[in-house]
Amino acid sequence: MGESKPPMSSLGGEDECLSWAARDPSGLLSPHTFTRRSVASDDVSLKITHCGVCYADVIWTRNKHGDSKYPLVPGHEIAGIVSKVGSNVTRFKVGDHVGVGTYVNSCRECDYCEEGQEVSCVKGQVFTFNGVDYDGSVTKGGYSSHIVVHERYCYKIPVDYPLESAAPLLCAGVTVYAPMMRHGMNQPGKSLGVIGLGGLGHMAVKFGKAFGLDVTVFSTSISKKEEALNLLGANNFVISSDLDQMKALAKSLDFIIDTASGDHAFDPYMSLLKIAGTYVLVGFPSEIKIQPATLNLGMRVLAGSVSGGTKVTQEMLDFCAAHKIYPNIEVIPIQKANEALERVVNKDIKYRFVIDIENSLK
């Protein structure tokens, strides 16, 4: 690409980072070399082995929000191995398996940060890529050879849990696990509806089953029925456009998790909740329209959620390891990243792409 390489650092070039970056709103990724900061006293440097592909990578590589800063290195589902730690680091040592999720900094002083809910930091979380860090630098994500992160925002991945499986947990996994815990969905025998069966939806099904819930999957695509029931273990599968099937489920569900980002009606699903049932939205449709009566007469709760704090993220990783919960993934080399992003747009993935950084980024 005719780019000059950054000067080698005095530490033998360890700060030089190989990556794939988008240069403009076409979102097309190609090789790019840049310099990571050197390891400060509270930092962990990890050699990235795997990075999950999230719809967020599409949004920012293609400047869908109008705030992309190029060259942009996406990726916020990062798993790897600690290669270096700063002098004050106590939670990690070289060789540990470690994850980094959707943010890499926060103020560390507000009530939310104090509670381990940094995702709600009053001054704003610093996103893992395309964020502006406190030193003014623009963050670059996990489609890269290594990353340097304050230890607070790193997670222990149990050593017997595969790194490629851990990557998608750091966004897709915690985005559904956090609200499920917050709203008490870990109650065996209760019933859960899951709308949409992509990266987030398939994890909601897995967690629901692990919690002992009766899980119903709602989809517009009959092609997903067999996998939902046989591969993921859902109890029921409903085509959401089938009014008879929907009517039969009126007031039958304790909880719904809506992972669909496309625009869709809310009232038909809301009416499936029992009295005082909870509907959690984790997708981002362009608008929410709801009849007040559906909400008020049913005494129902409509809640939103986004990823999770450091406390619940670590708890989720430990839960997945203890219960042997693994996302369904397709591992690809980084050379196929552009194709993968296009397939994510077309929903042509079961259920998460994971880039094998270690063996393909050279």
What digits encode the pLDDT tens for the residues 230-244?
999 999 999 999 999
Residue 10 has pLDDT above 50, yes or no: no
Q: Which alpha helices (DSSP H) does the chain contain, by range?
A: 55-61, 111-114, 163-166, 172-182, 199-210, 225-226, 243-248, 267-270, 292-296, 310-323, 337-345, 357-360
CA distance 234 to 312: 24
* 311 domain-assigned: no
Indicate the pLDDT class of residue 1, thresholds 50, 70 and 90.
very low
Same domain, 133 and 246: no
Quick one: pLDDT at residue 9?
36
The percentage of residues in the chain with a pLDDT greater than 70, rounded to a whole number, is: 96
CA distance 300 to 183: 13
Residue among 282, 256, 283 nearest 268 (CA) = 256
* 316 domain-assigned: no
Same domain, 32 and 159: yes
DSSP string, 213-271: -EEEEEES-GGGHHIIIIIS--SEEEETT-HHHHHHTTT-EEEEEE---S---SHHHHT
Same domain, 164 and 177: no
Token readout for 357 is 């950084």
Write down the residue that tokens 């993935």 correspond to: 349
Same domain, 263 and 344: no
Indicate the pLDDT class of residue 8, thresholds 50, 70 and 90.
very low
Quick one: pLDDT at residue 14?
55
What digits encode the pLDDT tens for the residues 153-184?
999 999 999 999 999 999 999 999 999 999 99
| Sequence-distant (≥ 6) Cβ neighbours of residue 177 within 8 angstroms | 203, 207, 308, 312, 316, 319
* 196 domain-assigned: yes
Same domain, 252 and 338: no
* 9 domain-assigned: no
* 3 domain-assigned: no
**pTM for this prediction:** 0.93
Whichever domain contains 143, its CATH number is 3.90.180.10
Quick one: pLDDT at residue 41?
97
The percentage of residues in the chain with a pLDDT greater than 90, rounded to a whole number, is: 92
Same domain, 185 and 161: no
Same domain, 111 and 184: no
Total domains in the fold of the chain: 2
Angle at 37 between CA 34 and CA 40, to 5 degrees: 165
Same domain, 223 and 131: no
* 153 domain-assigned: yes
Same domain, 39 and 124: yes
Same domain, 146 and 27: yes
Can you give the residue range of the structural domain that contains 35? Answer: 16-169+328-356
Same domain, 132 and 239: no
Whichever domain contains 219, its CATH number is 3.40.50.720
CA distance 142 to 13: 19
Quick one: pLDDT at residue 5?
41
Average pLDDT, the chain: 94
* 11 domain-assigned: no
Query: Which DSSP category does 144 fall into?
Result: B
Same domain, 153 and 178: no
* 8 domain-assigned: no
- What average pLDDT does range 70-99 have in this prediction? 98
- What average pLDDT does range 230-259 have in this prediction? 96
